[in-house]
Amino acid sequence: MATFSKLRSGNWRAQVRRKGRYASQTFKRRRDAETWALETERRVDRGESISSTRPDHIKTFADLIDLHIADMHEVKKPLRRSKAYSLHKLKTHLGTSDFNNLNRQNLIDYGRFRAKEGAGPVTLGSELSYINTIITHAAAVHGISVSKEPVDFARVALRRLGLVGRGIERDRRPTQSELDAIFEFFEGNARQHIPVARIVQFAVATAMRQAEICRIRWADVDERRRTVIVRDRKDPQKKDGNHQRVPLLDLTGYDAWALLQEQKRVSHNHELIFPYNGRSVGTAFRRATRSLGIEDLHFHDLRHEATSRLFEAGLSIERVALVTGHKDWKMLRRYTHLKPEMLFSDQERLRPA
């Protein structure tokens, strides 16, 4: 079956999918695209090769990236924000090169440049993986052959330079005095229309991420069970449709259900419980920590804090996972930064009477 799409350049892109085979080509006129598509379908039916019918406008690495993005949109898999940002960086710094000239040194130079910009080992590793994905996609879908060997060598070199690798696990937990200072900062600011203090408390109560808090809906609240559905929850194996019903507990020092009822009085019947831009919430949080002189505290650290408090409250790993959404219980270990002083209370509880 042939499909036709008009590109921003004004050209027409024809794509043929027939009997498990795929080909695409770009033309200035739709009529030419239709003629080519019909002939390509006939070639498939005759069992002839169509691998040579590569889009002739594909010359640079940026063209390969655009081809990948267009195909993802066509199958209704648009890029998420982090991948879109990384592909933009790749296009900006590597896009003008002929894709056949993409070499090890170019990639190493790119890695060093991104590291100077502040990209960490995990981010840079992901961007190299995206390059591999784009090259594999071009070969598998469009018959465009590009060697992946330079990418593999560059990854080895950048790993040896310490620029690619596993991320450093954070163990930063806010103190209660830091949290209280943040609450006072926002509650004393009459110009702050976003209830950041309540959102921070809700984050510590639920272990939800910043974006998840600003995405939950009143329609997904079950008042009888005191739960809310978090839709499309982050999952490395399943990007969409990963919905989870999360209990709204009172185990971390903050009552999630009470905070929800408090928010209901000010949400003005909006479909979202917290109808605010997640980035704006993050910006406000960073402004508060800077103003208060609180160093190295990120909003995501509140998720760590919440998870640790759930363990400190005595919940088992499987029960904590029902709140946090972790599918792999091993991942919860990095969040269980229990305070040493908690062992004294355990000692008293376990001491024979």
Give bridge partners of residue 21 from the DSSP assignment. 18
Active site residue 300: yes
| Domain count across the chain | 3
Burial annotation 263-273 (CB, 10 A radius, 16+ → b, else e)? beeebeeeeeb
Residue 54 has pLDDT above 60, yes or no: no
Task: Tell me which of 247 and 45 has the higher pLDDT.
Answer: 247
The packing angle between helices 301-312 and 317-324, to 10°, is 150
From the list 142, 155, 215, 303, the catalytic residue is 303
Q: Which residues contact 41 (CB under 8 A, 6 or more apart)?
A: 2, 16, 18
Q: Please check whether residues 336 and 254 belong to one and the same domain.
A: yes
Question: pLDDT tens for residues 142-166?
Answer: 778 788 999 999 999 999 999 998 7
> Are 180 and 328 part of one and the same domain?
yes
Structural domain of 93: 59-168
Q: How confident is the model at residue 135 (pLDDT cuts 50, 70, 90)?
A: very high
**Which pLDDT belongs to residue 21?**
75
Q: How far apart are CA 273 and CA 220, in angstroms?
A: 10
Tell whether 75 and 53 lie within a shared domain: no
Determine the Cα–Cα distance for residues 293 and 83; give it in Å rounded to an integer.
33
Q: Which residue among 57, 300, 319, 337 is the active-site one?
A: 300
Known active-site residue 286: no
pLDDT at 53 over 50: no
The one catalytic residue in 193, 239, 264, 333 is 239
CA distances from 155 to 13, 116, 158, 160, 167 (A): 34, 17, 5, 9, 15
Q: Are residues 313 and 216 in the same domain?
A: yes
Residue among 209, 215, 233, 304 flagged as catalytic: 209
Q: For the segment 236-269, what is each residue's pLDDT rounded down to a tens digit?
A: 555 566 899 999 999 999 999 999 999 998 877 7
- Please confirm, yes or no, whether 6 is among the known catalytic residues: no
Q: How confident is the model at residue 340 (pLDDT cuts 50, 70, 90)?
A: low
Do residues 272 and 229 both lie within one domain?
yes
Q: Which of 18, 41, 57 is the last residue of a domain?
A: 57
Q: Is 265 a catalytic residue?
A: no
209 is catalytic: yes
The per-residue pLDDT for range 163-180, each reduced to its tens digit, is 998 766 678 899 999 999
Of 198, 304, 309, 326, the active-site residue reads: 326
Statement to judge: residues 7 and 21 lie in one domain: yes
Does one domain contain both 254 and 297? yes
Instruction: Give pLDDT tens digits for 192-213.
Output: 889 999 999 999 999 999 999 9
CA 246/CA 129 separation, integer angstroms? 33
Q: Which residues are CB-contacts of 76 (< 8 A; sequence separation ≥ 6)?
A: none
256 Cβ contact list (under 8 Å, min separation 6): 202, 205, 206, 248, 249, 250
Name the residue with higher pLDDT: 47 or 341.
47
Pull the structure tokens for residue 143: 């018959």
Range in 119-123, 253-257, 327-331, 337-341 the model is least confident about: 337-341
Question: Are 309 and 340 in the same domain?
Answer: yes
Higher pLDDT, 225 or 237: 225
User: Of 168, 187, 213, which residue sits at a domain end?
Assistant: 168
Q: Is 326 a catalytic residue?
A: yes
